[in-house]
C-alpha cells in the first residue's frame, strides 16, 4: 500500500471512530431522556429571532397535526403580521392585543384593559386540553409593566393540561417564569442591521 493511501485510510478510520463515539454518547443521553410531557419553553433576550422561533415552532407543531393557540401581546393593528397571513388558513385559535406597541399608545388604562382581555384568552387556552401548544408571543412585557398578575400566570401554567406545550417569548422575562420553565433560551444580539442604518423590512422584520 502506498504511504498516501495508507494515511488516507487511517484518517478515514479515525473519523469513523470519532463519529461512533459521538453517536454512542448521543444515544446514551437520548436513551435516558424518556419522559413525555408538556414542555414550557421561554425564548427571551434582546436579540432578533424570538417571535420567529415561536411562530416557527407553531408551524412545526401544525405540520404534525397538533392544534395550536396563539395570543400576540404586542403586535397591534399598525403592521399586518406575515406569519398570521399564512397561519390563519389553518384551524388555529388566535387573539391579538390590538392596542399596538405600548410606547405608541401612551395610554396606560387602555393598554391594561387590552392586556387583561388578552390574558383571559390565554387563560382559556391554558385550560383547554384540545389545544396542544400555546404561543404567548411577547407576553413578558405585560409582566414587566405589571399589566397582568404574575401569580395568576404561574397558576395557569402550573395547572395546564399535562401534555400541553407552552412558548413564551419577549425580552426581560421575569425570573419566576424562567424558574418554572423546562427550556429557556437567551437570544443575545451580537449585532443588528438596524445599527447600520438598515430599516425594518417587510418579510424579514415583520
**Secondary structure of residue 54 in the 3-state scheme:** helix
CA distance linking residue 127 with residue 196, whole number of Å: 45
22 CB neighbour count, 10 Å cutoff: 10
Could you tell me the smallest distance in angstroms from the CB atom of residue 108 to a second copy? 5
What are the angstrom distances between the C-alpha of 125 and each of 103, 160, 179? Answer: 27, 9, 22
State how far the Cα of 105 lies from the Cα of 180, in Å rounded to an integer: 31
Least distance CB 97 / a second copy (angstroms): 16
Nearer to a second copy, 21 or 120 (CB): 21
Beta bridge partners of 101: none
Nearer to a second copy by C-beta: 1 or 35?
35
Query: What distance in Å separates the CA atoms of residue 28 and residue 19, rounded to the nearest whole number?
Result: 14
Residue 102: CB minimum distance to a second copy, A:
7
Closer to a second copy at the Cβ: 83 or 138? 83
**Shortest distance, CB of residue 169 to a second copy, whole angstroms?**
9
Give the C-alpha distances (Å, rounded to integers) separating 112 from 44, 49, 107, 134, 175: 22, 26, 9, 22, 22
Nearer Cβ to a second copy (46/120): 46
Shortest separation between residue 152's beta carbon and a second copy, angstroms: 22
Q: Of the two residues 145 and 152, which places its CB atom closer to a second copy in the complex? A: 145
Amino acid at each position: 500500500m502506498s504511504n498516501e493511501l495508507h494515511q488516507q485510510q487511517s484518517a478515514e478510520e479515525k473519523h469513523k471512530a470519532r463519529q461512533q463515539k459521538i453517536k454512542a454518547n448521543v444515544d446514551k443521553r437520548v436513551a435516558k431522556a424518556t419522559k413525555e410531557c408538556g414542555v414550557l419553553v421561554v425564548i427571551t433576550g434582546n436579540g432578533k429571532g424570538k417571535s420567529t422561533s415561536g411562530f416557527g415552532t407553531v408551524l412545526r407543531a401544525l405540520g404534525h397535526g397538533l392544534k395550536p393557540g396563539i395570543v400576540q401581546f404586542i403586535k397591534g393593528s399598525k403592521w399586518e403580521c406575515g406569519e398570521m397571513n399564512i397561519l390563519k388558513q389553518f384551524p388555529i385559535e388566535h387573539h391579538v392585543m390590538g392596542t399596538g406597541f405600548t410606547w405608541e399608545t401612551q395610554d396606560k388604562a387602555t393598554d391594561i384593559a387590552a392586556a387583561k382581555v388578552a390574558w383571559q384568552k390565554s387563560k382559556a387556552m391554558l385550560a383547554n386540553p384540545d389545544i396542544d401548544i400555546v404561543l404567548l408571543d411577547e407576553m413578558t412585557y405585560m409582566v414587566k409593566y405589571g399589566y397582568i398578575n404574575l401569580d395568576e400566570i404561574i397558576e395557569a401554567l402550573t395547572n395546564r393540561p399535562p401534555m400541553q406545550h407552552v412558548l413564551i417569548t419577549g425580552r426581560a422575562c421575569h425570573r419566576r417564569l424562567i424558574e418554572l420553565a423546562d427550556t429557556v433560551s437567551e437570544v443575545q444580539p451580537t449585532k443588528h442591521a438596524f445599527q447600520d442604518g438598515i430599516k425594518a423590512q417587510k418579510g424579514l422584520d415583520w
